[in-house]
Amino acid sequence: MAARKTTKKPNVSAEELKTYYREMLLIRRFEEKAGQLYGMGLIGGFCHLYIGQEAVVVGLEAAAKEGDKRITSYRDHGHMLACGMDPGGVMAELTGREGGLSKGKGGSMHMFSKEKHFYGGHGIVGAQVPLGAGLAFADKYKENGGVTFTYFGDGAANQGQVYETFNMAALWDLPVVFVIENNQYAMGTAQARSTSSPDIYVRGEAFGIPGEIVNGMDVLAVKAAGEKAVAHCRAGKGPYILEVKTYRYRGHSMSDPAKYRTREEVQKVREQSDPIEHVRELLLTGKHATEDDLKAIDKEIKEVVNQAAEFSKESPEPSLDELWTDIYA
C-alpha cells in the first residue's frame, strides 16, 4: 500500500473535502456502533465491518452521477451509507427489525434500494459480479447512459464466474466498472497465499479490459481513478477495472479473531495510512477547517449514528405475517 505522505496540493475544494470527511466518518462511526450492538447481542449472525476501507466507496460515489448503479458483496454497509441510504434503515436491518431496509428479512448482507440504485448486498462470494454486469447490460439495452459499479474483493477475484463475466462484459462493451477492493485478505488467507499474481487487475488484460491500481487509502486518488473509469464506460468503450488497494482493520466478520496477521501490521496501517486522518490533515494543513469545525462534524455524525442505533432498537420486530410475504411478486 502506498504511504500517505503526499504533500502535493490537491485540486479539490474545501467543501468537497469536508463532504468526504463527513461521509467517511459516518461509515466508520456507524460500523463501530454496529460492532458495539453486535457485542450487546442486538445484531446476530454475520456482520462484516468496513472499517479502514471507507475511502473506496466515498471516492467512487464522488465519481458517480444520478442513475448510476452499484452492487457489492456482504461487506456492504459502507456502500449503502455512501450512496445515501438511510443509516437508521440500515442499522434496523442489522438488528432484524421492521424498520430495516428489507423489513428485517435480509440482514446485514442483504439490503437493496431501487431509489438509490443499490442492488445488494450479496452473500455468495463473486456472485454479484455477473449480476453487476447484467445491470450494465440493462443500461446498455435501454441506452440510458448509466454505469454500474460492481464491487468485489481480492478473494472473489479467484472465482470462475468473474472471468466468465470479464469475457462477456468485454465482448459486449458493457458499461461496468469492476472495482476490486483488495483488502489483502480473503477472510484469513493473505493474497500471496491465494492468488497467483501480485496484481489482480492485470487479469483483465487477457480480455482486453484496461485497468489500474489505485491507492484506496486516499479518497482523492480513488475519486480521480473513478472519474477516468466512468468516462471510459460512458464513452461506450466497455468495462474498466480498478484494483483499489485498501485494508480492513477488523476481522473478516465479528467472530474472526484475525490471528493471521499481527497487531503491529494493523496498527501500522492505522497510524500511517488511515483514510480519514488523511483528509483531516488535508483540511487542517490547507486551513480549510479548524479543529473546532471538525469537532462539530464529529459531533454531528455521532448524533446521526446514535439516532440510527436508537431507531434500530426501538423499531419492532417484523410482524409474524411477514414470514409468508414477498416470496412471489
Partner 1 sequence: MATEILMPALSPTMEEGTLAKWLVKEGDTVSSGDIMAEIETDKATMEFEAVDEGIVGKILISEGTEGVKVNTPIAILVEEGEDASALPAAAPAAAAVTEAAPAAVEAPAPAAAAPAAPVVDLSPDWPADAEMKSETVREALRDAMAEEMRGDEDVYLMGEEVAEYQGAYKISQGLLDEFGPKRVIDTPITEHGFAGIAVGSAFGGLKPIVEFMTFNFAMQAIDQIINSAAKTLYMSGGQMGCPIVFRGPNGAAARVAAQHSQDYAAWYMQIPGLKVVMPYSAADAKGLLKSAIRDPNPVIFLENEILYGRTFDVPQVDDLAIPLGKARIWREGSDVTIVSFGIGMQYALEAADKLAEEGISAEVIDLRTIRPMDTGAIINSVMKTNRLVTVEEGWPQGSVGSYISSVVMQEAFDYLDAPVINCTGKDVPMPYAANLEKLALITTDEVIAAVKQVTYR
Residues 233-252 that bind partner 1 (CB under 8 A): 249, 251
- State yes or no: residue 75 binds partner 1 (CB under 8 A): no
Separation of alpha carbons 151 and 163, rounded Å: 14
When the beta carbons of 242 and 309 are compared against partner 1, the nearer one is 309
Residue 243 has which C-alpha cell? 484494483
271 touches partner 1 by CB under 8 A: no
Write b or e for each residue in 292-323: b if 16 or more Cβ atoms lie within 10 A of its Cβ, otherwise e: eebeebeeebeebbeebbebbeebeebeeeee
Q: Per CB under 8 A, which region of 59-67, 123-131, 199-207, 239-247 contacts partner 1?
A: 123-131
Among residues 20, 21, 50, 137, the one that binds partner 1 under rule CB under 8 A: 137
Query: Does residue 124 interact with partner 1 by CB under 8 A?
Result: yes
Nearest CB to partner 1, comparing residues 9 and 114 = 114
Out of 9, 259, 264, 287, the residue judged to bind partner 1 by CB under 8 A: 259
Give the nearer residue to partner 1 in terms of CB position, either 123 or 210: 123
Distance CA 185, CA 192 (A): 9
Residues 104, 43: contact at Cβ < 8 Å?
no
Q: According to the binding rule CB under 8 A, does residue 40 interact with partner 1? A: yes
Under the criterion CB under 8 A, does residue 139 sit at the interface with partner 1? Answer: yes
Out of 132, 153, 175, 238, name the contact with partner 1 by CB under 8 A: 132
Q: Which is nearer to partner 1, 40 or 190 (CB)?
A: 40
Question: Contacting partner 1 (CB under 8 A), which of 46, 145, 173, 277?
Answer: 46
Smaller CB separation from partner 1, 13 or 307: 307
Q: Enter the DSSP assignment of 317.
A: P
Q: Phi/psi zone of residue 183: left (φ > 0), alpha (ψ -120 to 50 degrees), beta?
A: alpha
Candidate segments 59-67, 80-88, 177-185, 254-262, binder of partner 1 by CB under 8 A: 254-262
Binding mask 142-171 for partner 1 (x = CB under 8 A): x-----------------xx--xx-xx--x
The correct pick among 156, 180, 214, 254 for binding partner 1 (CB under 8 A) is 254
d(CA 182, CA 300): 31
Q: How many residues bind partner 1 (CB under 8 A)?
A: 72
Residue 26 to residue 109: CA distance in whole angstroms: 19
Distances (CA, A) of 21 to 67, 225, 293: 24, 19, 12
Q: What does the alpha-carbon distance between residue 192 and residue 197 come to, in Å, rounded to a whole number?
A: 8
Instruction: Identify the residue among 4, 14, 116, 123 touching partner 1 (CB under 8 A).
Output: 123
Report, in angstroms and rounded to the nearest whole number, the Rg of the chain calculated over CA atoms. Answer: 19
Nearer to partner 1, 219 or 269 (CB): 269
Q: Which residues lie across from 236 on neighbouring strands?
A: none
Across the strands, what pairs with 151? 179
| Amino acid at the residue 57 | V
Using CB under 8 A as the binding rule, whether residue 111 contacts partner 1 is answered as yes
